[in-house]
Structure 1
Amino acid sequence: MTAQHHLSDQHDPPGRVVLVAMGNEVIRCGLCTMLDDLTTVDETCATDDFDRGMELLRSRRPDVLVLPTPGEQHLAEKLARTAVEHDVRILLLLRAASDGALVEAVTLPADGFLLENDLTRDSLKSALADLDSGLMPMPGPLARKLLARVRRAESGEAAKPPERPCPEADRASSPLTARERETLSLMAEGLSNKQIARRLGISEHGAKRHVANILAKLNCSNRTLATAVALNRGLLPEPRPAFHG
């Protein structure tokens, strides 16, 4: 078991607490080193052990959880579910923008993505800043593959899908209520349930219910896929996530 704590200079302004949970020691240590160099990160915790990861989620109350995929789903899935319950944002580190990685990525409730090959201090800093701003960091190649996958799935549901979605027609025939469409728009901006609740002036439980209804109605397993489906169907007027590529 590996557990590490890295504290930034105590004179730095207060920043985030980031938990890195992954088995690859080289990447784990490299991430910690880069995070330690960021003045906006106050503390970094790291582990390769599930039980220790759960303990750190509860004791350190991180703002961001960095998880690997593919290949370490046993570590990622349960930690991700617990992170969502504690309103912790999830940043997934992908080995490549491959179809296999994409399939595994969309099964996790991610708030943003990074590619190992693109991993630098600047890209990490930018991704964390996007998460703070309510945006969804996503490499361009992954975004294109995700939208292509959704379009293929959508085209299989109709004999002749429209070349270009018609937002007005789709919104008129949408199974989503007006409040759910508001929630969907905020989901696309990358807002958490707590932030959605604050923006809509409702309880966090109410926000969670709206999100669950949206996922069910769009037949999606998580927010990332729901956003892509909504974009393809014209339920969102324009792409809101920040894609980096």
Structure 2
Amino acid sequence: MSEIRTIRVLTVDDHPLLRTGIAGAINAQADMSVVAEAADGEEAVASFRLHRPDVTLMDIRMPKTNGIDAISTIRKDFPNARIVVLTTYGGDIQALRAFKAGAVGYLLKSMLRTELIDTIRLAHAGMRRIPPEIAQELAEHAGDEILTTREIEVLRDVAKGSSNKIIAVRLAISEHTVKGHLKNILAKLDASDRTHAVMIALKRGFLDI
């Protein structure tokens, strides 16, 4: 009888209870086990280099280095790394950033109970895993213009309640330029006003405040 090859998993999340729950579910399987855990992106990179896991489960929003940057760093040194994003947040932009960084799967934390184990096996087999709702959002916005870095900076300040004058001072640009950025933002997001633009940006993942 041939020996079952164990899938070695690294879990990365800044919530210890979630890591414990994930480890329990994984270690209960005959064909996989958690070989290491990390609480932020920096630890994730170090743990990956040390343990070389078969599959990494990576949260996005963490202290120090975020998940997207950690994925990019790992994939730069280990192009064949199989990393699955775990996140509470949907949104096409966040998913797009994750896949561009090199993620092979994307899993909402609300799906962990039903999808976690199958997603790990799919990633280990070299297959992608994208939830239908995320795939639909990606398809719906495939032709949309992406906000520039400056436009996101302006919108982040708008979300904080800053006036055009305050935004102009903080970014060292004129109020006229701020108004121009806001006009472009409303057009790109098909938003009716500033508040609507912030709501859309949060939903799609442009902002993570």
Q: Secondary structure at the match of 1:97?
A: coil
**CA distance in 1 between partners of 2:34 and 2:20 (Å):** 14
> Equivalents in 1 of 2:125, 2:47: separation in Å?
25
Identity %: 18
Q: Structure 2 residue aligned with 1:148, among 132, 137, 140?
A: 140
Stretches of structure 2 that go unaligned for 5 or more consecutive residues are 147-209
Provide the residue aligned with 2:58 in structure 1.
67
Give secondary structure in 1 for the equivalent of 2:86: strand
Greater Rg by CA: 2
> Residues 67-216 of structure 1 correspond to what in structure 2 (within 5 A)?
67-70=58-61, 74-84=65-75, 85-86=77-78, 87-99=80-92, 101-102=94-95, 104-106=97-99, 108-120=101-113, 122-153=114-145
| Displacement after TM superposition at 1:97 (Å) | 2.1
Contact 1:57-1:83 within 8 A present in 2 as well = yes
Q: Does the alignment pair 1:17 with 2:12?
A: no
Q: Number of residue pairs matched?
A: 143
Higher relative contact order (CA 8 A, sep 6+): 1
Q: Deviations over 1:185-236 (max 9, x none)?
A: xxxxxxxxxxxxxxxxxxxxxxxxxxxxxxxxxxxxxxxxxxxxxxxxxxxx
**Cα RMSD between the aligned structures?**
2.7
Partner SS for 2:142: helix
**Secondary structure, in 3 states, of the residue corresponding to 2:66?**
helix
CA-CA distance at 1:100 after TM superposition: 5.9
Q: Which runs of 5 or more residues in structure 1 are unaligned?
A: 1-11, 155-245
1:40 aligns with 2:40: no
In 2, are the aligned partners of 1:70 and 1:101 still within 8 Å (CA)?
no
TM-score after normalising by structure 2:
0.59
Q: CA deviation at 1:153?
A: 4.1
Counterpart code for 2:8: V
Instruction: Report the alpha carbon displacement of residue 36 of structure 1 after superposing the two structures with TM.
Output: 0.9
